[in-house]
Chain A
């Protein structure tokens, strides 16, 4: 649990750092080409990791209600997120975008967690609201 918490926070660190380096690369090429190389390098390193380390995390049971081919769409819809975030960043203020993105994420996440666990977690809603207000303060100029 504590490791899961730490790596979740770390995933935020790597998101910001990779976003910044990708922006540098896309100046030299364009968003599409730099995203392509981003995934090629990613495939290289994840293959390397697969060969070097023991695969972990297979012990958890699968949610059998959804057909399994749906799971393969995670990668492709990730590209959708990358492209539209880059597009929206030019159209609306980053404060508004950050807040709306998080709003969408947390609403969808609470609904998804509800369907996966069959319990509506009140603390997730309260926590989500606190995080939202926190974001409002952080992004204020």
Chain B
């Protein structure tokens, strides 16, 4: 059941990138990104209301904890920009290459306290990832 749900969420991500990309072709990258965020916040507010959840934060939280929002904007802007040039398949494969490479670098330098070892298998995997992307770009 969890496996089917995982595949389904993969479907959802592809559909999301497509819808956001199509929104961009109508409104442009930045306006589309604003619209995407407003739509998401409206839905989140409904969910918060249903759960009777307060959005107040009691503890003092350093400002850099909120940087995820800025990074999320960059993700959306990058995807929206690339969509009309590359299509969904290539865009998502390249994105996955970026994700894997970043995770590897974070693990290598033990940033965020990950303790995974990088070995020959991971490097071989990364090379296959790059190859796969080259095949998609070239042919």
Contacts and interface: CB of A to CB of B under 8 A. Distances in A.
Nearest to A9: B98
Contact of B71 (A18, A76, A79): A18
Contact of A137 (B73, B89, B122, B133): B122
A92 to B, nearest CB: 5
Interface string A35-46: 111111111111
Given A102-B10, A103-B7, A113 B33 contact: no
Interface in B31-60: 31-45, 47-48, 51, 53, 55, 57, 59
B95 A15 contact: yes
A30 B59 CA distance: 13
How many of chain B's residues touch chain A, expressed as a range?
35 or more
A67 to B, nearest CB: 11
B13 A56 contact: no
Contacts of B26: 58, 62, 68, 71
Interface of A: 1, 3-5, 7-22, 24-25, 28-30, 32-47, 49-50, 53, 55-58, 60-63, 66, 68, 70-81, 84-85, 88, 91-92, 96-97, 100-110, 112-113, 116-117, 121-124, 126-140
B8 A36 contact: no
B105 to A, nearest CB: 9
B89 A128 contact: yes
Given A53-B30, A139-B125, 8 more contacts: A7-B81, A39-B69, A62-B25, A104-B6, A108-B10, A108-B13, A108-B88, A117-B87
Contact of A21 (B59, B68, B128): B68
B15 A14 contact: no
A77 B11 CA distance: 11
A96 B65 CA distance: 29
A133 B133 CA distance: 12
Contacts of A18: 67-69, 71-72, 75
A8 B86 CA distance: 9
B89 A10 contact: no
Contacts of B29: 55-57
Contact of A130 (B5, B45, B102, B131): B131
A117 B84 CA distance: 11
Interface in B79-130: 79-82, 84-104, 106, 112, 121-122, 124-130
Contacts of B125: 133-140
